[in-house]
Amino acid sequence: MPMLRKNKAVRAAIFLLGAGLFLLLAPSAQAAKIGDLADLNFADQILRFFSMKDPSVRYALLGSIFLGVSCGLLGSFIVVRKMALVGDTLSHAVLPGVAAGFLWNMSKDPAAIFIGATIAGLLGTAVVSLIKQTTRLKEDTVLGMVLAGFFAVGICMVTMIQHLPTGNKSGIDKFLFGQAAAISEGDVKLMGIVTLLSVAVVLFFYKELLITSFDAGFARAAGFPVQLIHYTLMLLLAFSVVISLQAVGVVLVSAMLITPAAAAYLLTDRMHRMLLLAAGFGMLAGTSRAFFSFLGPSLPTGPFMVLGASVVFALAFFFGPRHGVVMKWWHHRSRADRVQRENTLKSIYHVLEGREFKGEGVSLRELADRRRETIEEVQTQAKDLKRQGLATLHEEGNLIFLTPDGWLRACSIVRNHRLWELYLTNAAQIAADHVHEDAEKIEHVLGEEVVRELERRLQYATKDPHGRPIPSIEDIQRGLAGLSRREDLVGYGKRS
Amino acid sequence: MSSFDEINGPPSVIHPLPTGGPPPLEIHDMTVAYHKKPVLWGIDLVVPQGKLVGIVGPNGAGKSTLIKAVMGILPLSSGWVKIFGASFKSNLHRVGYVPQRESVDWDFPVNVMDVVLMGRYGHLGLMKRPSKRDRDIARECLDKVKMLPYANRQISNLSGGQQQRVFLARALAQESDLYFMDEPFAGVDAATESAIIALLHELKARGKTILVVHHDLPTARNYFDMLLLLNMRVVAFGPTDEVFNYELLQKTYGGRLTILSEVAEAVRQKGA
């Protein structure tokens, strides 16, 4: 088991590394196209960026990493608590608070904006719970309504500020879509504090957060303050949203909460790993965004950060080792291949049975007639059987001989089919001419245990509903040679 | 009852309870309301120790509400509840709970062991992580419900019966003296059903008291020592033999007796 776990960790690490490289390269390719800083070569750029000599680069990078971590951690809990929409509403609801914080002393004072935004965000969620508790409306409706309402108020206030004499130079519009270059030293300090707080809470109260997220009823019965933990989480969420505003913008900040966590959810089945991965993905998206904004300072950076996170999600979606689309497709394909192979084996058995097991080889023509397919099609199937070691081909590939393994598999699949037909006619009282279709499907998935049980229940019957013999387990293991009831014994087990 | 013996495996870490002392559960004049509409009305109940009690009644009778209110998950409108003679809060650790299986998201990123360990969380202090001893207890409890081989499985890969057994193991890990179980038999396979019954009897043998919300009337008679017939009020509470009769069941299930009449008839014939 520890071996397996290590494998998983290694896989996750490789995945992270790959995603990181991709992310670092993707935006730089973009930047080159946009051609903001085409005169410097790429290696120099990277060197300049990671040396962090430039304070604005340092702030942008640190800030992005901080917000990536705190959004990733809290976002994971939001996702598993099915509260993604709450995060979205909260992030839109902060806008009036941002504007109010700005109006407080007509400047972008981080503290005033932080306080204003947090209050507005919490007010928004409070309005949601108030409407939810006093009316019959369901949560999604209320969330959508409050989100739009608060956001509209915010837009009005921002527009108003921009029309004030000092307003148009304020840069308050940057809160809508984010601007990494606008991050100041004060902002970074605030981000650091909030991130530290988030990490500390998740680290120290992991157990409490886990149990209340998974089973709130049980947690309450076990004496955990479910409501308090919920409110703590909401408060931290509000903090994380507010510190992310400068860099990502009101409109897209919820994506930074949800997307890295969603990608992590696809990649792992354990909460602590999901937290680590989500924080890592958030950091990755943050770093790539900071790097990109360094290459092209005048470009909107929030969208690129979210795009970075979305790329990580897309990679997880397609290439995730367990839930990835590619893996699922692969499994599906290999299953389809197996079914195809088993059907071919079954047809060979039927051909042999049709001539009462006289002569060992089955020609491609016989098989094609039996399967109502072309020679070319059965030829491919025959080659597949050969590759799998289930058959050998003779006379230039025209004659198929089953190997012992192939014979065994052919017998088991025929046995599964006939046992199931008999079971359906006996136990479920289905007419004998209606059971074939069902057996065609089930024969490929019956496990050994179920087959034993079927045999027992059918009292080791030897004939199927159509009167054909059911190959028993002894027959299969003994090979054709042991079938004493047959006259002319043929096949690989032929008596010499 | 050979299946019971299988379950009575290694000696348990839970010590048998001394008899005597205050009753495990005492409810006085309890009323519970949702949006000002009463769901339970004037419940008076004293449950003696070491009994296996089934709570039966029609849909919407307040069966789940009763146990949730007792454990403080839902607020009381009036009345009080005592657990072993004291408030629920001061006797938290003596109460174990098996919620309805549907109440949680089985795609949650935890494995079987994580869930069972949650049974230990109530015993741990603030900011404390489960110790090796907690893990041993969890493993022992998983073994009792025959789920130990599944300890590292993600919970979404379990069948309904296996999920229920995981919940039972979690409740066992709570090492409590009084258990509340909300429909543990709902939608489980025959093997799980007999495993649960065996477990309930084992707990009872160790002096534990268990209240089980149960939906299926025909089996209720065989499973439980005592029955609580509930329909907003307590219709009857007593030993199964005394309470399981046509008149009382009719009173509990009211007009819906058409479904029930056959059952009741069968009961009468059996009893005669």
Q: Which residues of chain A make contact with B110, given a CB cutoff of 8 A?
A: 210, 214, 269-271
Query: Which residue type is seen at B41?
Result: W
If interface means Cβ-Cβ distance under 8 Å, which residues of chain B face chain A?
Answer: 68, 71-73, 89, 92, 95, 97, 99, 103-105, 108-111, 114-115, 118, 121-122, 124, 126-130, 152, 154, 170, 174, 180
Q: What is the pLDDT of residue A71?
A: 93
pLDDT at B202 over 50: yes
Residues B205 and B211 sit within 8 Å (Cβ to Cβ): no
Q: What is the pLDDT of residue B16?
A: 53
Residues B51 and B209 sit within 8 Å (Cβ to Cβ): yes
Residues A411 and A474 sit within 8 Å (Cβ to Cβ): no
Are B121 and A222 an interchain contact pair (Cβ–Cβ within 8 Å)?
A: yes
Q: Mind listing the pLDDT tens digit for each residue in A202-216?
A: 999 999 999 999 999
Are B99 and A217 an interchain contact pair (Cβ–Cβ within 8 Å)?
A: yes
SS (H, E, C) chain A: CHHHHHHHHHHHHHHHHHHHHHHHHHHHHHHHHHCCCCCCCHHHHHHHHHHCCCHHHHHHHHHHHHHHHHHHHHHHHHHHCCCHHHHHHHHHHCHHHHHHHHHHHCCCCHHHHHHHHHHHHHHHHHHHHHHHHHCCCCHHHHHHHHHHHHHHHHHHHHHHHHHCCCHHHCCCCHHHHCCHHHCCHHHHHHHHHHHHHHHHHHHHCHHHHHHHHHCHHHHHHCCCCHHHHHHHHHHHHHHHHHHHHHHHCCCCHHHHHHHHHHHHHHHCCCHHHHHHHHHHHHHHHHHHHHHHHHHCCCCCCHHHHHHHHHHHHHHHHHHCCCCCHHHHHHHHHHHHHHHHHHHHHHHHHHHHHHCCCCCCCEEHHHHHHHHCCCHHHHHHHHHHHHHCCCEEEECCCCEEEECHHHHHHHHHHHHHHHHHHHHHHHHCCCCHHHCHHHHHHHCCCCCHHHHHHHHHHCCCCCECCCCCECCCHHHHHHCHHHCCCCCCCCCCCCCC
- B126 to chain A: closest CA residue: A205
Q: What is the pLDDT of residue A339?
A: 87
Are A220 and B71 an interchain contact pair (Cβ–Cβ within 8 Å)?
A: yes
Are B104 and A214 an interchain contact pair (Cβ–Cβ within 8 Å)?
A: yes
Q: Mind listing the pLDDT tens digit for each residue in A213-243?
A: 999 999 999 999 999 999 999 999 999 998 8
Sorting pLDDT into bands at 50, 70 and 90, what band is B46? Answer: very high
Domain boundaries, given as residue ranges, for chain B: 2-271
- B156 to chain A: closest CA residue: A269
Residues A187 and A175 sit within 8 Å (Cβ to Cβ): no
Mutate to test the interface with B, among A218, A271, A275 (most CBs of B within 10 A): A218
CATH of B2-271, one of 3.40.50.300, 3.30.1360.40, 3.40.50.10240, 3.40.50.720: 3.40.50.300
Distance CA A442, CA A438 (A): 6
- A80 to chain B: closest CA residue: B108
The CA–CA distances, whole Å, from B70 to A483, B92, B178 equal 69, 11, 12
Q: What is the pLDDT of residue B270?
A: 54
pLDDT at A487 over 90: no
Distance CA B136, CA A207 (A): 18
Q: Who has greater pLDDT, B272 or A172? A: A172
Q: Mind listing the pLDDT tens digit for each residue in A90-111?
A: 989 999 998 898 888 777 778 8
User: What is the mean predicted confidence (pLDDT) over A371-389?
Assistant: 86
**CA of residue A147 relative to chain centroid, distance:** 28
The count of residues in chain B is 272
Share of chain A above pLDDT 90, in %: 25
**Closest to B109 (Cβ–Cβ): which among A207, A222, A268?**
A268
Identify the three-state secondary structure at position B92.
Answer: helix
Distance CA A226, CA A265 (A): 23
pLDDT at A459 over 50: yes
**Closest to B152 (Cβ–Cβ): which among A1, A80, A82?**
A1
- B170 to chain A: closest CA residue: A218
Distance CA A288, CA A46 (A): 11
Q: Parallel, antiparallel, or unpaired: how do β-strands B226-231 and B52-56 relate?
A: parallel
If interface means Cβ-Cβ distance under 8 Å, which residues of chain A face chain B?
Answer: 1, 80, 82, 204-205, 207-208, 210-211, 213-215, 217-224, 265, 268-271, 273-274
Sorting pLDDT into bands at 50, 70 and 90, what band is B132? Answer: very high
pLDDT at A125 over 70: yes
**Closest to A269 (Cβ–Cβ): which among B99, B154, B174?**
B154
Q: Who has greater pLDDT, A4 or B60? A: B60
Question: What residues does B6 pair with on adjacent strands?
Answer: none
Mutate to test the interface with A, among B70, B87, B110 (most CBs of A within 10 A): B110
| Residue ranges of domains in chain A, CATH in brackets | 15-323 (1.10.3470.10), 324-496 (1.10.10.10)
For residue A473, count other CB atoms closer than 10 A to its CB: 15
Rounded to two decimals, what is the model's pTM? 0.74
From the CA of A268, how many Å to the nearest CA of chain B? 7
For residue A53, count other CB atoms closer than 10 A to its CB: 10
From the CA of A134, how many Å to the nearest CA of chain B? 9
Q: Mind listing the pLDDT tens digit for each residue in A162-171?
A: 888 776 566 7
**Closest to B122 (Cβ–Cβ): which among A1, A223, A269?**
A223
- What is the ipTM for the molecules in this complex? 0.87
Identify the three-state secondary structure at position B253.
Answer: helix
Residues B6 and B201 sit within 8 Å (Cβ to Cβ): no
Q: Which residues of chain A make contact with B130, given a CB cutoff of 8 A?
A: 207
Q: Which residues of chain A make contact with B104, given a CB cutoff of 8 A?
A: 214-215
Which tokens is A137 given?
A: 């409306």
Q: Which of B235, B232, B252 shows the shortest CA–CA distance to B40?
A: B232
pLDDT at A471 over 70: yes
Q: What is the pLDDT of residue A25?
A: 45
- B110 to chain A: closest CA residue: A270
Q: Mind listing the pLDDT tens digit for each residue in A274-288?
A: 999 999 999 988 888
